[in-house]
Amino acid sequence: MKSAAGLDTAIRERKENADMKNRNLKYGGVAVALTAAFIAIVVVVNVIFTALSAKFNWYTDLTSAGIYSISDGFKSVLDSLVADTDENTTVNVVLMSEEDRFASSSTEAGYVYKTLKQVEAYCDKIRVKGINSVREKEEISRYQLTEYDTVYTNDVVFELADKDGKPILTAPTKKYQLSAFFKKNSEKKVIGYDAEARILSAVAQILNKSEKPVAYYITGHGEPTLAEASAWEELFNTAGYEIREINLALEDFPVTENENRNNDIILINAPVFDLLSPTAEDLGLVNEKAKIDKFLKKNFGHLIVTEGASTTHLPVLNGLLSEWGITMSGSVSDPTHSASASGGVSVMADSSQTTENVPKQIVERAVGSNSTAHVVFNSPRAMTVDSSGLSLVGGLGSQGVFPLLLSYSTAVTRISDEKTNTGNAILAAIGMADWDLNDDGNISYVLALGTTDFLSYGSSANESIMYSVLELMWTSRATFGDIQYKSFDSNSLSSTTAQANVWTIVFVAALPLAVAVVGITVWIRRRHS
């Protein structure tokens, strides 16, 4: 039996232990509370500053190329572009999504937004705003060249505005996809940031401070006059082109041999007679084909050709197309899918048959998912494509040819009086040549349309298709002195597979296990202390 003194000692020890536990709990609880409060404060402050930095561009550019900063060269060129601009004139940069969506993006949209906000802060002639292109259908309608023209949430539009930022509706706009602000290599991998040159090009165009690309309308072969082809003239004018008639038998293209004219286009529309060929030189005549070849291969221009079922055999012109892998074939009819009440004359294209990369981009840009958007070919002729037939001598890069628009499978192609084919007929095709894999501004496109009046159907999606094609062809931006794209940092830490596995084990298993062991050890020691 314990003595009274021993009992008092035991009671006292138990009380001291209880007091110690209470103190530990109290201090531990306070520590946990303070830690939680500190973490909460850090999180809240981080959220606030992240939002403010996004709104006011509070950040430090640590990239070696200055990707997140506008250069002094850019500022100098921009100053010169707006120097003599009317005080009542400004430029709106309209994002097809709310600014918050662009600001919070860590992808291409975020890059472009940061740059545009810096430009806005630097130049009082530039305003950036965002709209919800999904909800605000009426507002974005002015950025659609046709009823079928598609506006995507990542698009960026430059437009002329008054001093209050109100758009001048009679002035042209320039719409870009986000990809236009980035530089790609021959494998279409993004290697740099080209926003400065792209922005300057757009501002120069909107303020009418840059040279317009040219659409050369070829004459001298029985083609309709430009006045008779007013739909083409209107199309090019609306798209921002200058259109010029040119007779290659009498004059040359007004460009130097190695001048880059990658935005310029040749249009050969419904010719009746053939181009003058190499054999014409023997007769003292001009070789028109050679002039076109030089324009495509040396000046990196583009070509559009229209031929229909009634077009006579044109061996020189068709020989030129065959060098791009395109061969003209017989007439096409399709009573099942016709835009004509009489059936068979006007053939509808089945856009779902367009699967190749470049053509698919054109079609999706033109009609999106609109199932009612029909592309119509009046009295069409079919064509075939064959990549193995490409013979573009002098091409240093890649070449290809693709079907752009095909008929429905119910179409009938008359090859000759004795032979017909039933099935999908190619009604439009596009060939391309990347003349220099190191420069994405040296790509030429050749478009063949199997009808001579492609723009005659106002209720069809034909115009949308052509605007989408022109957007593809008008790819290169203007050149402004020494303003070049900014290369993305390529420094990286490389390791073998074995090394990677070791580091994976260390960080995923070993370190967490070590922390757990230490924690358990400390817990056990404290529990028994």
Domain residue ranges of the chain, discontinuous segments joined by +: 24-56, 72-206, 214-473
3-state secondary structure 25-89: HHHHHHHHHHHHHHHHHHHHHHHHHHHHHHHHCCCCCCCCCCCCCCCHHHHHHHHHHHCCCCCCE
Round to whole Å and give the CA distance between 425 and 447.
16
Work out the pLDDT band at 46, boundaries 50, 70, 90: low
Evaluate if residue 21 carries a pLDDT over 70: no
Q: What local confidence, expressed as pLDDT, does residue 514 receive?
A: 75
- What's the CA gap between 275 and 140, in Å, rounded? 44
What's the pLDDT score for residue 107? 81
pLDDT-based confidence at residue 141 (cuts at 50, 70, 90): confident
Q: What is the mean pLDDT of residues 322-347?
A: 84
Mean pLDDT of 213-240: 91
CATH T-level topology, domain 72-206: Glutaredoxin (3.40.30)
Asked if the model's pLDDT at residue 277 lies above 90, the reply is no
- Lowest model confidence (mean pLDDT) among 3-12, 66-75, 180-189: 3-12
Question: Tokens 């286009």 map to which residue?
Answer: 265
Residue 492 has pLDDT above 50, yes or no: no
Highest mean pLDDT among 12-26, 153-167, 513-527: 153-167
State whether CATH 3.30.70 applies to domain 214-473: no
Share of the chain above pLDDT 70, in %: 76
Token output for 482: 């020494």
- CA atoms lying within 13 Å on the CB side of residue 130: 18
- Which helix (H) or strand (E) element contains residue 346? strand 346-348
Phi/psi of residue 227, each to 5°? -65, -40
Each residue of 385-440: pLDDT tens digit?
998 767 654 555 678 899 999 999 999 999 877 788 899 999 999 999 887 655 55
Phi and psi at 435, nearest 5°, equal: -70, -20
Whether 63 contacts 99, CB under 8 Å: no
Closest by CA to 118, choosing from 66, 174, 64, is 66
Task: Round to whole Å and give the CA distance between 128 and 115.
Answer: 11
Instruction: List 448's β-bridge partners, or say none.
Output: 305, 429
Of 374, 378, 384, nearest in space to 429 by CA: 384
- What's the whole-number average pLDDT of the chain? 81
Q: What does the pLDDT average to over 469-478? A: 76
Task: Judge contact between 124 and 92, C-beta under 8 A.
Answer: no
Residue 17 has pLDDT above 70, yes or no: no
Q: Which two tokens stand for residue 17?
A: 């232990």
The alpha-carbon radius of gyration of the chain (Å, integer) is 33
| 276 neighbors 303 (Cβ within 8 angstroms) | no
Which ranges of 357-461 does DSSP label H, i.e. alpha helix?
A: 357-367
Query: What pLDDT score does 265 carry?
Result: 96
Could you tell me which residue, 93 or 193, shows the higher pLDDT?
Answer: 93
Q: Which range among 101-105, 363-367, 486-490 shows the weakest confidence by mean pLDDT?
A: 486-490
Q: For residue 284, which phi and psi values (nearest 5 degrees)? A: 80, 15
Percent over 90 (pLDDT), the chain:
34
More confident residue, 14 or 255: 255
Structure tokens at 458: 């106002």
**Computed from CA positions of residues 446, 450, 455, 457, in that sequence, does the dihedral angle turn out positive or negative?**
negative
**Full-model pTM:** 0.69
User: Which residue did the predictor score with more confidence, 90 or 144?
Assistant: 90
Per-residue pLDDT at 376 exceeds 80:
yes
CA nearest to 383, candidates 308, 453, 470: 308
Partners of 89 in the β-ladder: 162
Out of 4-18, 100-114, 249-263, 442-456, which region has the weakest mean confidence (pLDDT)? 4-18
pLDDT at 308 over 80: yes
pLDDT value at 493 more than 50: no
Which is more confident, 277 or 428?
428
Can you read off the two tokens belonging to residue 468?
């989408």
Phi, psi of 258 (to 5 degrees): -110, 20
What pLDDT is attached to residue 374?
A: 86
What distance in Å separates the CA atoms of residue 344 and residue 513, rounded to the nearest whole number?
76
User: Which is higher by pLDDT, 208 or 185?
Assistant: 208
d(CA 203, CA 210): 9
- Tell me which of 4-8, 163-167, 294-298, 442-446 is least confident: 4-8
In DSSP terms, which residues pair with 338 in a beta bridge? 347
The closest of 113, 116, 209 to 154, measured between CA atoms, is: 113
pLDDT exceeds cutoff 80 at 49 = no
For residues 231 and 10, the model is more confident at: 231
Q: How far apart (Å, rounded) are the C-alpha atoms in residues 155 and 234? A: 24
